[in-house]
Amino acid sequence: MVTITAEPAAGEEISRRRPRRPRARSRGSRIAYVYILPFFVVFAAFSVYPWLDTAWVSLHDVRLSTYDQQTWVGLANYRNLLTNSFFWNAFRNTVTIGIISAVPQLCIALGIAHLLNHKLRGRTFFRVALLMPYATSLAAATVIFIELFDPRTGLIDWALHALHLPRVDWQGSKWPAQFAISSIVMWRWTGYNALIFLAGLQAVDQELYAAAAVDGAGKWAQFRHVTLPGLRPTIIFAIVVSTIGSAQLFGEPLLYSPQHLPDGGTQGQYQTLGLLMYQQGWANDRLGLASATAWTMFVIILLAVLVNLLIARRRQRRA
Amino acid sequence: MRLRGTRRRTAASMLALVTAGALSLAGCGSSSDNTSDSAGGGASASAGPCGTTKPTTLTVGLYGTFGFKENGLWDAYKKVCPNITIKEDDVEQSADYWTKLKTRLASGSGLDDVQGIEIGFVGDVLANHADQFVNWQTVPNAAADKAEFYPWKWNMATTADGKDTVGLGTDTGPQSICYRADLFKQAGLPTDTATLTKDFSTWDGLLNLGKQYEASKTKPEGSSFIDSVNSIFNAAVYQGTEAYDDDSGQPDVANSDGVKNAWKIATEAAQDKISAGLAQWGPDWNKAFSSGTFAALACPTWMMGYIQGQAGDAGSGKWAVSPVMPGGASNWGGSWLGVPKASKNQPAAIALVEWLSNKGNQVTMWTSPSQGGHWPSNSQAAADPSVSGATSTYFSGDPIGQIYSKIANQMKIPPIGQYDTQIQSDINTQLTNVETKGTSPSSAWSAALNAIKQVTG
């Protein structure tokens, strides 16, 4: 659509050699609005409207069963949330599971991408293999991991036992449970991130490596001084996406619970914000409080992404 | 191509927003109109025993295993009313079913012609949705319908003002203890009726049997006496004058005699270490029915169906039912069938529900060979000799009819409320912490109250 509407105008402008007039573009622009309208209609119906409605509901005392009886409570739900031990527990769990899963995941992905960027026998096979976990259904993957981490019959505890190490309660103890969930996340997303990094790597000018090699840089020095700076935008993208993903973590901990309950273990040891929101809304029937949690999560994600970007920008300036 | 001019962009997105808003409003509006229209339908007696003479498909929304299909009732109804086709709309877990039903009640659309109502959420239905269900006190056969049921069963599905009854009863859950007779024998515990009648008559007696089992040198390795202390709690809590709620149906957990007593017995059982500490309804618990990880559990009649489902044919003759219930006769569970006013086939749906809950069919539900432990809520059915005379080969030939009818006739029923399911689940979680993590009962208790407050607000 760009070519059809914009090109004659552009040709005209070049021949006359004078700045574009806004009016000359408005007809094309109007057609463009028609083209993008379907997206924005869907966006408005499934994103903007739910956002606004959620905000509205979060200011009311609402139960699912009595949805038509909403009582205005102002910011009481937010006050309740911020003074609520369940919220802070879920917040801490979300942060720790996010860190345990995202940091190793991105580092490993970077390493794999670096390796796969070399000429390697069976490179396509490895690249496809990397994407397999991502293409596997979350439920199927989690079921396998539950079996692996089963405290009675799991392969991992069996191996620990064989090595004369103490058995670990992967379900009931806080850190092992969080680690187990992080491992599911890592398993699923490392390959995906590696491919993103690989795409970024292939955009890095190969002559820079040659030049660095001529200057006497070894593999590690090349990685640090050519690969990393070249990949910066890609890395920032991956970090931002992982941050958003971590903050919304829901399916893995829900399915990891033996009865698929949203309470994140009997002591809430792996309840994330996503699970808490679900529990408040669907198990406890309190839609107002759940909506407040949803909006608080939204703000937390915005803040986390902003912090990411600020750090990235500052480093960029320094570099 | 770059778009300049923010004003136009704003206008476009506003337009999109308004369109979406209008669409969704229109959606809600029309559906609630339908509800009020069809509410005036009412039943007409002239259409015959099937409610209608036209070919009609009735959708029936159920959860878990109601057993109508399994016990041949749908086939039987086809003979009574050949013009009626029945379509089951099943959800496995009652909690998921309830979420779905709530959403449909709130929007007033998508409801089935007949909806199952469980004891766990009948309180909510009565408090918030009674006007959306056909009132069984105003149907043509109201008086005859009412006369069939245990009065408490009828009252449980009736609003506090006594004016509105939302469902007719299906099964109820008089409880006893189910135990593995083979494991009892192996561990040297008594299995004869006379001794068990004495030992199982009190909770202390049950705890003593448990200690005896744990101390036995001949019991199978890795086997515990009871499945979970929650088994004890969930059974004992209904033995108080209150369970989770006061007379007005408001949550009253901290003051309830039933909760306090059940908590005391359950935490004692945890400290006696007589429990396998399995999460009820979890995968490990399910497996344990056949593996023998535990030897006994609280056993409302419907649990007999669950045991047979999990342990399979291999468990036949190994299981048995205690002749008495420790701590007194009580009920756990049960359901009703209601007809939403939104149903377009109200007379036919009412006729079907009346037929399903009549004496003959409730007798069939209990006595049929593939029965799942559906104890009648129809008191005439419960009094039928074939019901009270039933024995079960699966349960070692025990006189299950006689055992449960005695319990059913003595049951005291505490008031129910809107949040019973969630409250019980929060307490069970904390009892699991006491028995598997060594959490002190007092800190588990305050954690439970804290979690319950998240539900009740």
Long-range contacts of B71-79 (CB under 8 A, 24+ apart): B71/B364, B71/B365, B71/B368, B71/B370, B71/B371, B72/B364, B72/B368, B73/B356, B73/B361, B73/B364, B73/B365, B76/B361, B77/B352, B77/B355
Which residue of B12, B433, B439 is in closest CB contact with A33?
B12
Q: Among the residues of B357-399, which ranges form H helices?
A: 359-367, 379-383, 385-388
- As a whole number of angstroms, the distance between CA B152 and CA B142 comes to 16
How close B5 gets to chain A, by Cα (Å)? 10
Q: In chain A, what are the domain boundaries? A: 78-318
Residue A189 main-chain phi, psi, to 5 deg? -105, -15
- Give the model's confidence band at A32: pLDDT under 50 very low, under 70 low, under 90 confident, else very high: confident
Beta-carbon separation of B20 and A65 below 8 A:
no
Q: At what angle do helices A123-135 and A85-116 cross, to 10 degrees?
A: 160
How close A74 gets to chain B, by Cα (Å)? 16
Beta-carbon separation of A266 and B455 below 8 A:
no
pLDDT in tens, B291-329: 999 999 999 999 999 999 899 999 999 999 999 999 999
What pLDDT is recorded for position A7? Answer: 43
pLDDT above 80 (res B370) = no
- As a whole number of angstroms, the distance between CA B128 and CA B159 comes to 10
Beta-carbon separation of B102 and A32 below 8 A:
no
Q: Is B53 helix (H, G, I), strand (E, B) or coil?
A: coil
pLDDT above 90 (res B151) = yes
Q: At what angle do helices B73-80 and B359-367 cross, to 10 degrees?
A: 150
In this structure, what is the dihedral angle of CA atoms B401, B403, B406, B409, given to the nearest 10 degrees? -60
Span A43-48, mean pLDDT?
92
Report the greatest alpha carbon distance in chain A.
84
What pLDDT is recorded for position A23? Answer: 55
Q: Tell me whether A61 touches chain B (CB under 8 Å).
A: yes
Q: Which residue of A has its CA nearest to B447?
A: A267
Q: Which amino acid belongs to residue B237?
A: V
Q: Tell me whether A267 touches chain B (CB under 8 Å).
A: yes
Beta-carbon separation of B20 and A45 below 8 A:
yes
Query: What share of chain B in percent tops pLDDT 70?
Result: 89
Q: At what angle do helices B400-410 and B301-311 cross, to 10 degrees?
A: 140
- As a whole number of angstroms, the distance between CA B252 and CA B278 comes to 28
Rg, Å, chain A Cα set:
25
pLDDT above 90 (res A192) = yes
Q: Tell me whether A43 touches chain B (CB under 8 Å).
A: yes
Beta-carbon separation of B128 and A66 below 8 A:
yes
Q: Tell me whether A35 touches chain B (CB under 8 Å).
A: no
| Of the candidates B349, B343, B335, B365, the residue with the CA atom closest to the CA atom of residue B98 | B335
CB-based contact A266:B433 (threshold 8 Å): yes
| Of the candidates B34, B22, B49, B39, the residue with the CA atom closest to the CA atom of residue B351 | B49
How close A266 gets to chain B, by Cα (Å)? 5
- Beta-strand ranges (E) seen in B36-192 are 56-63, 84-91, 114-118, 168-180
pLDDT above 50 (res B446) = yes
Query: If you ran DSSP here, which 8-state letter would residue B47 be given?
Result: G
Q: How far apart are the first and last CA of chain B?
A: 53
Rg, Å, chain B Cα set:
25
| Of the candidates B447, B434, B411, the residue with the CA atom closest to the CA atom of residue B232 | B434
Q: Is B363 helix (H, G, I), strand (E, B) or coil?
A: helix
pLDDT in tens, A144-182: 999 999 877 889 999 998 999 888 889 889 999 999 999
Q: Tell me whether A31 touches chain B (CB under 8 Å).
A: no
Span A38-61, mean pLDDT?
93
Q: Tell me whether A66 touches chain B (CB under 8 Å).
A: yes
Beta-carbon separation of B454 and A66 below 8 A:
no
Q: Which domains are present in chain B?
A: 38-172+335-366 (3.40.190.10), 173-330+402-456 (3.40.190.10)
In this structure, what is the dihedral angle of CA atoms A37, A38, A41, A44, given to the nearest 10 degrees? -90
What is the 3-class SS of B272-299, one letter each residue?
Answer: HCCECCCCCCCHHHHHHHHHCCEEEEEE
CB-based contact B225:B254 (threshold 8 Å): no
- As a whole number of angstroms, the distance between CA B296 and CA B275 comes to 10
Q: Which residues from chain A sit within 8 angstroms of residue B281, using beta carbons?
A: 259
Which residue of A2, A32, A65 is in closest CB contact with B124?
A65
CB-based contact B427:B221 (threshold 8 Å): no
CA dihedral sign of residues A202, A204, A207, A210: negative
- For domain A78-318, the question of CATH label 1.10.3720.10 is answered with yes
Which residue of A44, A152, A258 is in closest CB contact with B279?
A258
| Of the candidates B268, B291, B253, the residue with the CA atom closest to the CA atom of residue B456 | B253
What pLDDT is recorded for position B405? Answer: 93
Which of A2, A284, A287, A289 best tests the B interface by mutation, with the highest count of B CBs <10 A? Answer: A284
How close A107 gets to chain B, by Cα (Å)? 36
pLDDT in tens, B54-92: 999 999 999 988 889 989 999 999 999 999 999 999 998
- As a whole number of angstroms, the distance between CA A172 and CA B435 comes to 12
pLDDT in tens, B1-53: 333 333 333 344 444 444 444 444 333 433 333 333 333 344 444 567 899 99
Beta-carbon separation of B24 and A66 below 8 A:
no
Statement: the pTM of the whole predicted model exceeds 0.95: no
